[in-house]
Amino acid sequence: MTINSGFYQGTINGNQGIIAPGQARGLAAGATSGPNLDLAFIQFGPITAGRAQSFFDFYANDYTFSSLRTADARINLLAYTATFGSGFSATLSLEDRATGTGTRENAVISPGGTSVIAGQDHPDIVASLRVDQGWGSAQLSGALTQRAVILNQPGVVNTTTDDYGFAIQGGVKINLPMLAAGDVLFLQGAYADGALGYLGWGGQFGSGRILSTVTPLLVGDISVNALGNTNTATGFSLVAVLRHFWTPQLRSEFFGSYSELDLGYTLVNQGGTGLVAAPLDPKEIIVGANLIWSPVSGLDIGVEVLYTRTELRQPVLAAANGGVRTALAAGGRLVKDDDAGAIRFRIQRDF
């Protein structure tokens, strides 16, 4: 059962309660309570079927309270895993990106038109090659995704076409017993073309004064120009996480992610800046650290500090309280980058 009091107004995509500077602090709408199914799957021999962690994912926010910019999805899938000697395995998985958490599909951006994603003819095809040995683990994974796009640019084109995206990811987990028992280092990199959800991007982007709930800056996997031609957005992300045990009951995680997007489109709500509109192409860095005490097995009591910085290629109108972007003529101002920080205390009991 999940009981949700609703995110605070001004949070970054509801991202772990990060409140953007300058935003209202009251509770936003969305307080709910209801059942929450995390994972529910069947494994029989080499077959995995049900709601499970995507086989594309490697480091999937395993340690920290907050979310890094990384692939982390629990979705409906059907997978076959072949195991070889010496800890090697290979998996082929059919995954429904429209189900579960961390969904993979982002909107079509169509300035001046009404082009939309019309669904899919087949699930995403994910393949991975993995090795697990005494020194740690490594994985190479890839995904192919298909979108049916309704092209509706008034007076130009009104039809449906198929567009495709892909993503690749490589990661390594290194055990560090020479530092302390249980110490581990994750390193991971990913690239996506027309499938930014596989980098952990979805919804809108920005933090602080860049973020606006009224006129959001949206992430789109595909854009459609005035002539009805489609273009896919690209991007990459890098992730590093170190877990260190100071004592058997006291540990810390030091973590960070860096990501860049090449969107290839402009947004209507970035206008009014007095500049010729250009793709915003955000760059983002997230860094943080925590200290967690586990007095008994299965109980974590900890505090975590998080910092996020977003930089844009071109300034946009800053968002004031309430998320409204005020025009320059009405006293608004431009902003090209911004920062957000959070401190979080958490008590967690695992059974």
- Per-residue pLDDT of 90-103, as tens digits, reads 999 999 987 766 66
Closest CA to 1 of 44, 33, 31, 41: 33
Q: Can you tell me the distance from the alpha carbon of 88 to that of 139, in angstroms, rounded to the nearest whole number?
A: 10
DSSP assignment string, 134-154? TTEEEEEEEEEEEEEEEEEET
pLDDT number for residue 186: 98
Closest CA to 268 of 281, 250, 282, 280: 280
261 pLDDT above the threshold of 80: yes
275 pLDDT above the threshold of 80: no
Q: Which of 11-20, 151-160, 177-186, 248-257 has the lowest mean pLDDT?
A: 11-20
**What does the pLDDT average to over 62-85?**
92
Q: Which of 29-43, 125-139, 235-249, 273-287 has the lowest mean pLDDT?
A: 29-43
Closest CA to 280 of 328, 346, 235: 235
pLDDT band at 206 (very low <50, low <70, confident <90, very high): confident
Task: Catalogue all structural domains in the chain, each as residue range(s) with its CATH number.
Answer: 43-349 (2.40.160)
251 pLDDT above the threshold of 90: yes
Q: What is the DSSP letter of 216?
A: -
Stated pTM of the model: 0.88
Tens digits of per-residue pLDDT, 5-34?
655 544 444 444 444 444 444 555 556 666
CB atoms within 10 A of CB 269: 15
Burial category of 104 from C-beta neighbours within 10 Å (exposed 0-12, middle 13-18, buried 19 and up): buried
Chain centroid to CA 299: how far?
Answer: 27
pLDDT number for residue 13: 44
31-32-34 Cα angle (round to 5):
165
Per-range mean pLDDT, top range of 112-116, 223-227, 241-245:
241-245
**What does the pLDDT average to over 75-90?**
95
